Structure 1
Protein backbone atom coordinates (compact mmCIF):
# COMPACT_ATOMS: atom_id res chain seq x y z
CA UNK A 1 0.00 0.00 0.00
CA UNK A 2 1.38 3.38 -0.98
CA UNK A 3 0.13 6.34 1.05
CA UNK A 4 -0.85 9.60 -0.61
CA UNK A 5 2.04 12.04 -0.27
CA UNK A 6 1.17 15.58 0.82
CA UNK A 7 3.90 18.22 0.89
CA UNK A 8 2.03 21.54 0.95
CA UNK A 9 -1.30 23.29 1.33
CA UNK A 10 -1.76 23.03 -2.43
CA UNK A 11 -1.34 19.24 -2.24
CA UNK A 12 -4.02 19.09 0.44
CA UNK A 13 -6.27 21.36 -1.60
CA UNK A 14 -6.09 18.97 -4.58
CA UNK A 15 -7.64 16.25 -2.37
CA UNK A 16 -10.32 18.42 -0.76
CA UNK A 17 -13.62 16.55 -0.63
CA UNK A 18 -12.06 13.28 -1.80
CA UNK A 19 -11.60 9.93 -0.14
CA UNK A 20 -7.93 9.57 0.75
CA UNK A 21 -7.99 5.81 1.09
CA UNK A 22 -7.97 3.02 3.64
CA UNK A 23 -5.27 1.54 5.83
CA UNK A 24 -4.33 -2.11 6.04
CA UNK A 25 -6.33 -4.20 8.51
CA UNK A 26 -4.88 -4.21 12.03
CA UNK A 27 -5.58 -6.99 14.54
CA UNK A 28 -6.58 -6.07 18.09
CA UNK A 29 -5.14 -8.64 20.52
CA UNK A 30 -5.65 -9.35 24.21
CA UNK A 31 -2.07 -8.34 25.10
CA UNK A 32 -2.70 -4.93 23.44
CA UNK A 33 -5.93 -4.54 25.40
CA UNK A 34 -4.16 -5.47 28.65
CA UNK A 35 -1.34 -3.01 28.02
CA UNK A 36 -3.85 -0.26 27.29
CA UNK A 37 -5.71 -1.12 30.51
CA UNK A 38 -2.43 -0.81 32.41
CA UNK A 39 -1.58 2.51 30.77
CA UNK A 40 -5.01 4.03 31.45
CA UNK A 41 -5.84 2.32 34.76
CA UNK A 42 -9.05 1.03 33.16
CA UNK A 43 -9.16 -2.65 34.11
CA UNK A 44 -12.89 -3.17 33.69
CA UNK A 45 -13.48 -6.91 33.33
CA UNK A 46 -15.20 -6.57 29.93
CA UNK A 47 -11.73 -5.67 28.61
CA UNK A 48 -9.34 -7.73 30.70
CA UNK A 49 -11.06 -10.89 31.94
CA UNK A 50 -11.67 -13.25 28.98
CA UNK A 51 -13.39 -15.96 31.07
CA UNK A 52 -15.83 -13.57 32.72
CA UNK A 53 -16.43 -11.72 29.44
CA UNK A 54 -17.34 -15.00 27.73
CA UNK A 55 -19.63 -16.06 30.59
CA UNK A 56 -21.27 -12.74 31.49
CA UNK A 57 -20.48 -10.22 28.78
CA UNK A 58 -22.79 -9.05 26.04
CA UNK A 59 -20.25 -9.66 23.27
CA UNK A 60 -19.11 -13.25 23.90
CA UNK A 61 -15.52 -12.16 24.48
CA UNK A 62 -13.45 -9.27 25.74
CA UNK A 63 -13.67 -6.00 23.86
CA UNK A 64 -11.13 -3.28 23.14
CA UNK A 65 -11.48 -0.01 24.98
CA UNK A 66 -13.07 2.58 22.70
CA UNK A 67 -10.12 4.87 23.36
CA UNK A 68 -7.71 2.08 22.43
CA UNK A 69 -9.33 1.93 18.99
CA UNK A 70 -9.01 5.70 18.75
CA UNK A 71 -5.37 5.61 19.88
CA UNK A 72 -4.28 3.49 16.89
CA UNK A 73 -5.43 6.21 14.47
CA UNK A 74 -1.93 7.74 14.06
CA UNK A 75 -0.52 4.35 13.05
CA UNK A 76 -3.33 3.73 10.56
CA UNK A 77 -3.36 7.35 9.29
CA UNK A 78 0.30 7.08 8.28
CA UNK A 79 -0.64 4.19 5.99
CA UNK A 80 -3.15 6.44 4.19
CA UNK A 81 -1.34 9.78 4.03
CA UNK A 82 2.32 10.69 4.41
CA UNK A 83 2.76 14.40 5.09
CA UNK A 84 6.23 15.69 4.17
CA UNK A 85 8.06 19.02 4.52
CA UNK A 86 6.67 19.47 8.01
CA UNK A 87 7.93 21.69 10.75
CA UNK A 88 5.20 20.45 13.10
CA UNK A 89 1.84 18.65 13.20
CA UNK A 90 -0.74 19.14 15.93
CA UNK A 91 -3.74 16.96 16.73
CA UNK A 92 -6.17 19.86 17.10
CA UNK A 93 -9.42 18.10 17.86
CA UNK A 94 -12.02 15.45 17.27
CA UNK A 95 -15.57 16.38 16.41
CA UNK A 96 -18.70 14.24 16.34
CA UNK A 97 -16.93 11.11 17.57
CA UNK A 98 -19.36 8.22 17.90
CA UNK A 99 -18.49 4.72 19.06
CA UNK A 100 -20.97 2.62 17.08
CA UNK A 101 -19.81 -0.98 17.52
CA UNK A 102 -17.69 -2.84 20.06
CA UNK A 103 -14.43 -4.31 18.79
CA UNK A 104 -14.04 -7.83 20.16
CA UNK A 105 -10.61 -9.28 20.82
CA UNK A 106 -8.83 -10.62 17.71
CA UNK A 107 -10.98 -8.49 15.38
CA UNK A 108 -9.28 -6.70 12.53
CA UNK A 109 -9.93 -3.00 11.95
CA UNK A 110 -8.93 -0.47 9.33
CA UNK A 111 -9.22 3.28 9.00
CA UNK A 112 -11.00 4.86 6.04
CA UNK A 113 -10.40 8.59 5.57
CA UNK A 114 -11.91 11.39 3.49
CA UNK A 115 -10.60 14.96 3.41
CA UNK A 116 -13.72 16.89 4.36
CA UNK A 117 -12.20 20.37 4.35
CA UNK A 118 -8.85 22.11 4.20
CA UNK A 119 -8.06 25.74 4.99
CA UNK A 120 -4.95 27.90 5.02
CA UNK A 121 -4.91 29.86 8.28
CA UNK A 122 -2.09 32.38 7.81
CA UNK A 123 0.39 29.66 6.87
CA UNK A 124 -0.98 26.91 9.07
CA UNK A 125 -2.98 24.25 7.25
CA UNK A 126 -6.11 23.07 9.02
CA UNK A 127 -7.23 19.69 7.67
CA UNK A 128 -10.57 18.19 8.67
CA UNK A 129 -10.61 14.47 7.98
CA UNK A 130 -13.78 12.40 8.13
CA UNK A 131 -12.86 8.95 9.43
CA UNK A 132 -14.45 5.63 10.18
CA UNK A 133 -12.84 2.63 11.76
CA UNK A 134 -14.21 -0.39 9.94
CA UNK A 135 -14.33 -3.83 11.55
CA UNK A 136 -13.62 -6.68 9.14
CA UNK A 137 -16.80 -8.63 8.31
CA UNK A 138 -19.05 -6.20 10.24
CA UNK A 139 -21.55 -3.75 8.76
CA UNK A 140 -21.26 -1.09 11.46
CA UNK A 141 -17.96 0.72 12.04
CA UNK A 142 -16.29 0.80 15.44
CA UNK A 143 -16.42 4.60 15.32
CA UNK A 144 -16.90 7.60 13.08
CA UNK A 145 -15.74 11.15 13.58
CA UNK A 146 -14.03 14.22 12.21
CA UNK A 147 -10.34 14.56 13.05
CA UNK A 148 -8.83 18.03 12.89
CA UNK A 149 -5.10 18.41 12.27
CA UNK A 150 -2.93 21.51 12.05
CA UNK A 151 0.09 21.24 9.78
CA UNK A 152 2.98 23.72 9.80
CA UNK A 153 5.02 23.23 6.64
CA UNK A 154 8.68 24.26 6.24
Structure 2
Protein backbone atom coordinates (compact mmCIF):
# COMPACT_ATOMS: atom_id res chain seq x y z
CA UNK A 1 0.00 0.00 0.00
CA UNK A 2 1.25 3.51 -0.63
CA UNK A 3 0.34 6.62 1.30
CA UNK A 4 -0.63 9.53 -0.91
CA UNK A 5 2.01 12.30 -0.84
CA UNK A 6 4.26 10.34 1.51
CA UNK A 7 7.94 10.38 0.65
CA UNK A 8 11.39 11.10 2.02
CA UNK A 9 11.08 14.83 1.32
CA UNK A 10 7.56 15.11 2.79
CA UNK A 11 8.06 13.15 6.02
CA UNK A 12 7.74 16.30 8.17
CA UNK A 13 4.15 16.74 6.95
CA UNK A 14 3.21 13.32 8.32
CA UNK A 15 4.60 13.63 11.86
CA UNK A 16 1.77 13.14 14.36
CA UNK A 17 -0.48 11.52 11.76
CA UNK A 18 -1.78 8.00 11.46
CA UNK A 19 -0.11 6.36 8.48
CA UNK A 20 -2.61 3.55 8.26
CA UNK A 21 -4.09 0.33 9.54
CA UNK A 22 -3.00 -3.06 8.22
CA UNK A 23 -5.19 -5.90 7.09
CA UNK A 24 -6.18 -8.52 9.67
CA UNK A 25 -3.80 -11.45 10.22
CA UNK A 26 -4.92 -14.77 11.75
CA UNK A 27 -2.78 -16.07 14.61
CA UNK A 28 -3.30 -19.80 14.22
CA UNK A 29 -1.59 -22.69 15.97
CA UNK A 30 0.57 -23.43 12.92
CA UNK A 31 2.08 -19.92 13.08
CA UNK A 32 2.66 -20.24 16.84
CA UNK A 33 4.29 -23.66 16.40
CA UNK A 34 6.54 -22.36 13.60
CA UNK A 35 7.63 -19.46 15.82
CA UNK A 36 8.38 -21.90 18.65
CA UNK A 37 10.53 -23.99 16.30
CA UNK A 38 12.36 -20.93 15.01
CA UNK A 39 13.11 -19.48 18.46
CA UNK A 40 13.32 -22.61 20.60
CA UNK A 41 10.60 -21.29 22.92
CA UNK A 42 8.41 -24.35 23.44
CA UNK A 43 6.67 -23.23 26.65
CA UNK A 44 3.51 -25.32 27.04
CA UNK A 45 1.14 -22.35 27.12
CA UNK A 46 2.06 -21.72 23.47
CA UNK A 47 2.43 -25.21 21.98
CA UNK A 48 0.68 -27.84 24.12
CA UNK A 49 -2.94 -27.49 23.04
CA UNK A 50 -4.38 -30.16 25.34
CA UNK A 51 -2.54 -28.96 28.45
CA UNK A 52 -3.44 -25.35 27.69
CA UNK A 53 -7.12 -26.28 27.41
CA UNK A 54 -6.90 -27.88 30.89
CA UNK A 55 -4.54 -25.52 32.73
CA UNK A 56 -4.25 -22.17 30.98
CA UNK A 57 -6.23 -19.27 32.40
CA UNK A 58 -7.01 -18.39 28.75
CA UNK A 59 -8.73 -21.68 27.89
CA UNK A 60 -6.18 -22.62 25.28
CA UNK A 61 -2.83 -21.71 23.80
CA UNK A 62 -1.69 -18.12 23.31
CA UNK A 63 0.83 -16.54 20.96
CA UNK A 64 4.33 -15.69 22.13
CA UNK A 65 4.65 -12.01 22.98
CA UNK A 66 7.66 -11.78 20.69
CA UNK A 67 5.67 -13.37 17.87
CA UNK A 68 3.12 -10.59 18.11
CA UNK A 69 5.90 -7.99 18.33
CA UNK A 70 7.63 -9.42 15.26
CA UNK A 71 4.49 -8.90 13.17
CA UNK A 72 4.89 -5.13 13.42
CA UNK A 73 7.64 -5.10 10.79
CA UNK A 74 5.66 -6.78 8.00
CA UNK A 75 2.43 -4.99 8.90
CA UNK A 76 4.22 -1.61 8.82
CA UNK A 77 5.62 -2.42 5.41
CA UNK A 78 2.12 -3.40 4.27
CA UNK A 79 0.83 -0.01 5.42
CA UNK A 80 3.57 1.77 3.45
CA UNK A 81 5.89 2.97 6.22
CA UNK A 82 8.95 2.75 3.95
CA UNK A 83 8.50 5.51 1.33
CA UNK A 84 8.81 4.35 -2.26
CA UNK A 85 11.65 6.84 -2.84
CA UNK A 86 13.81 5.43 0.00
CA UNK A 87 16.54 2.95 -0.98
CA UNK A 88 15.95 0.85 2.15
CA UNK A 89 14.27 0.76 5.53
CA UNK A 90 16.13 -0.99 8.34
CA UNK A 91 15.02 -2.04 11.81
CA UNK A 92 16.79 0.39 14.17
CA UNK A 93 15.30 -0.82 17.45
CA UNK A 94 12.56 -0.22 19.97
CA UNK A 95 12.02 2.56 22.47
CA UNK A 96 9.09 1.12 24.40
CA UNK A 97 7.08 -2.09 24.30
CA UNK A 98 4.20 -3.13 26.53
CA UNK A 99 2.32 -6.41 26.15
CA UNK A 100 -1.23 -5.52 27.16
CA UNK A 101 -3.46 -8.50 26.35
CA UNK A 102 -2.62 -12.14 25.53
CA UNK A 103 -3.36 -13.16 21.94
CA UNK A 104 -5.43 -16.33 21.96
CA UNK A 105 -4.93 -18.85 19.20
CA UNK A 106 -7.32 -18.35 16.30
CA UNK A 107 -7.91 -14.62 16.68
CA UNK A 108 -7.10 -11.92 14.14
CA UNK A 109 -4.81 -8.97 14.79
CA UNK A 110 -3.92 -5.81 12.88
CA UNK A 111 -1.56 -2.90 13.37
CA UNK A 112 -2.35 0.81 13.58
CA UNK A 113 0.72 2.99 12.90
CA UNK A 114 1.32 6.65 13.74
CA UNK A 115 4.46 8.51 12.68
CA UNK A 116 5.58 10.07 15.98
CA UNK A 117 8.80 11.77 14.93
CA UNK A 118 11.62 11.89 12.42
CA UNK A 119 15.29 12.65 12.92
CA UNK A 120 17.46 13.48 9.93
CA UNK A 121 20.92 12.09 10.65
CA UNK A 122 22.82 13.26 7.58
CA UNK A 123 24.49 11.04 5.05
CA UNK A 124 21.11 10.17 3.58
CA UNK A 125 19.81 8.58 6.79
CA UNK A 126 16.52 9.36 8.53
CA UNK A 127 15.25 7.76 11.75
CA UNK A 128 11.48 7.28 11.94
CA UNK A 129 9.84 6.72 15.32
CA UNK A 130 6.42 5.13 15.04
CA UNK A 131 3.73 4.38 17.55
CA UNK A 132 2.22 0.97 16.93
CA UNK A 133 -0.88 -0.60 18.39
CA UNK A 134 -1.47 -4.27 17.62
CA UNK A 135 -5.23 -4.61 17.90
CA UNK A 136 -7.13 -7.84 18.56
CA UNK A 137 -10.40 -8.19 16.69
CA UNK A 138 -13.31 -7.87 19.12
CA UNK A 139 -11.14 -6.79 22.09
CA UNK A 140 -11.08 -3.35 23.72
CA UNK A 141 -7.44 -3.54 24.78
CA UNK A 142 -4.65 -4.04 22.27
CA UNK A 143 -2.29 -7.00 22.31
CA UNK A 144 0.63 -4.59 22.55
CA UNK A 145 1.75 -1.02 22.13
CA UNK A 146 5.25 -0.26 20.93
CA UNK A 147 7.45 2.54 19.70
CA UNK A 148 9.59 1.25 16.86
CA UNK A 149 12.53 2.87 15.15
CA UNK A 150 13.28 2.52 11.45
CA UNK A 151 16.32 3.90 9.67
CA UNK A 152 15.64 5.01 6.12
CA UNK A 153 18.53 5.05 3.70
CA UNK A 154 17.81 7.60 1.00
TM range, smaller chain: over 0.9
**How does 1:68-83 map onto structure 2 within 5 Å?**
68-81=67-80, 82-83=82-83
Give the C-alpha shift of residue 90 in structure 1.
1.7
**How does 1:3-152 map onto structure 2 within 5 Å?**
3-4=2-3, 6-8=6-8, 10-81=9-80, 82-122=82-122, 123-152=124-153
Give the C-alpha shift of residue 78 in structure 1.
1.7
Give the C-alpha shift of residue 42 in structure 1.
0.5
CA contact (8 A) 1:3 1:78 kept: no
Aligned length, in residue pairs = 151
CA contact (8 A) 2:62 2:103 kept: yes
Give the C-alpha shift of residue 7 in structure 1.
3.1
TM-score (norm 1): 0.93
TM-score (norm 2): 0.93
* 5+ long unaligned stretches in structure 2: none
Greater strand fraction, Structure 1 or Structure 2:
1
| CA-atom RMSD in angstroms | 1.3
SS at match of 1:52: helix
Following the alignment from structure 1 to structure 2, what is the Cα–Cα distance between the partners of residues 108 and 12? 30
* 5+ long unaligned stretches in structure 1: none
